[in-house]
Chain A
Amino acid sequence: MGDEYDLAIESIERIIFSMNDAVKEMWSTGYTGMMVSVGRVFAGEAGKKSLATDIPSILNEVSEIFPGMEFEVKDNKIVVTRCIIRELAGKGVTEIGGPLCMFMKGYLMKMLELVEGRRIKLDISMGEQCEITMR
């Protein structure tokens, strides 16, 4: 059974690699803004069903939607403690700061706007763990 999962995971990773390349080739560097917008659109849909009223609870909801993502709020910063995109980047499937990161940025931005009730901007520092600051 374990082998079957490994085989399935490997094939999905290869498809992600190919699709990620397709997105980059199609829009060149323009994918950055586009993927942020797509993330915002998807979060807008998911946000309609959200019951969260504060930042930790909305981050929990995002973790439930994307099981590979985990967040923690520390000193007014949101720390990404677990990130499936980073794991994929470690395997060379995608890259940090690529289309998937931009999607997640847009998604988080919109979700946080829903609980904050105002337009916000996110500053992301990409270190060993990404840290997100809201403005």
Chain B
Amino acid sequence: MDKMEELRSKMEILAILSNALELLSGDWARTVCFIAGKKLGEQTETKSSDNLEEALKLVSPWKIDVFEEKDDGTLIVFRECPIRQTHYAVCTTQGGPLCQVTHGFISQILAKSLGKDVKIEVLHMGPNACLKKVVV
């Protein structure tokens, strides 16, 4: 089995867990996935920083850029995201519970490195990138 096949089969496994959660608990699945993401963020080591752009660079393998600073928050672009790759590899719906894993993970990582509470909102979802707003 080559690496591409291995990756796809593991993405299938991830989709199973997400779909099972959605089937069994409906809208609660989003909360459960968010908490799962937060726990993942807690287990991940990160460096402290006082700059959002710097803190975003520490999040691997996600590639996130700052797009625009606004009065009510900062617009960021998720260029690479393993969850989005999973959606496209195994045909699950973008914006479903699995995306909440990303939100939980990124908000926890940012909260740890910035030392402040962070909220993430989705503005737009696309096949190559997602636009989101971060409120620190």
Quick check: A8 and B7 within 8 Å, CB to CB?
A: yes
Q: How many of chain B's residues have a CB under 8 angstroms from any CB in A? A: 36
Complex Cα–Cα for A19 and B19 (A): 11
Q: With A18-B101, A22-B35 in contact, do A84 and B13 touch (Cβ < 8 Å)?
A: yes
Quick check: B82 and A15 within 8 Å, CB to CB?
A: yes
Q: With A18-B101, A23-B17, A100-B16 in contact, do A84 and B10 touch (Cβ < 8 Å)?
A: yes
- In the assembled complex, the CB of A92 is this many whole angstroms from the nearest CB of chain B, namely 13
Quick check: B11 and A68 within 8 Å, CB to CB?
A: no
Residue among A23, A34, A41, A88 with most chain B CB within 10 A: A23
Quick check: B14 and A19 within 8 Å, CB to CB?
A: yes
Range, interface on chain A: 35 or more
Complex Cα–Cα for A11 and B43 (A): 13
- In the assembled complex, the CB of A33 is this many whole angstroms from the nearest CB of chain B, namely 11
Quick check: A19 and B7 within 8 Å, CB to CB?
A: no
- 1/0 contact trace for B8-31 toward A, CB 8 Å? 111111101111110111000000
| Residues of A close to B10: CB separation below 8 A | 9, 12-13, 16, 68, 84, 88
**B4 at interface, CB cutoff 8 A:** yes
Quick check: B4 and A11 within 8 Å, CB to CB?
A: no
Q: Which of B30-56 contact A (CB under 8 A)?
A: 32-33, 35-37, 39-40
Q: Nearest 4 pairs between A and B by C-beta?
A: A68-B9, A5-B3, A22-B36, A19-B17
Footprint of B on A, CB under 8 Å? 2, 5-9, 11-23, 26-27, 34-35, 38, 41-42, 65-68, 84-85, 88, 99-100, 103
Footprint of A on B, CB under 8 Å? 1, 3-14, 16-21, 23-25, 32-33, 35-37, 39-40, 60-61, 82-83, 85-86, 101
